[in-house]
Amino acid sequence: MWPEIIWHCFTDHVWFSSDRNWLEFLSISDAAFWGLTNEPSEDASEKVRKDIAETREIFMKIAEKDGSKDRSGLLAQLELEKRSRAHGVTDGLFMRFLVCSMLLIELSDLTRLGSLLEEYYEKFGDKPSCFEDLLPYISLEGGDLTQWTRLLDETSTTFVGGLSP
């Protein structure tokens, strides 16, 4: 009950306020995963998947609303994806397919982190905080690492003073 109340209070505040406090985004994510840490069961996992989907949608809307004037919405999506993967609840289909057959994997779940990293880098790559913002999310493997490395390789590097390699 309390996590749902907290989740609704924080999401309403973050949505209607132009103030973007990172701790509020973390509190929303904490509330979305509460069932896994306090009541581990299959029912709790299903509820958490539903809460994550709702939270993801809210974070996406906030990122869309804020555009390139604020990075919080996109960072919150990255945090949510990182936690989803750590808890093994990346929308349910991914885990079920992975358990049933190593050949059937829903690509939308597997590529979400890479797509979010790319979107963040394209919008905020010129900000001094970009590296520190992305650092917690770039311990990548497999396809995510390949996608991220390709993006960085395709990016031209410019040094202060206009020198280009």
Claim: this prediction has a pTM higher than 0.95: no
Contact assessment for residue 75 and residue 44, using Cβ atoms and an 8 Å cutoff: no
pLDDT tens digits, 6-19: 666 666 666 666 77
pLDDT tens digits, 73-129: 999 999 999 999 888 877 544 333 344 444 433 434 567 888 899 999 999 999 999
Query: Three-state DSSP class for 120?
Result: helix
How big is the CA angle at 26 (ends 76 and 39), to the nearest 5 degrees? 115
For position 10, what pLDDT does the model report?
Answer: 63
pLDDT tens digits, 22-45: 888 898 898 888 888 766 677 777
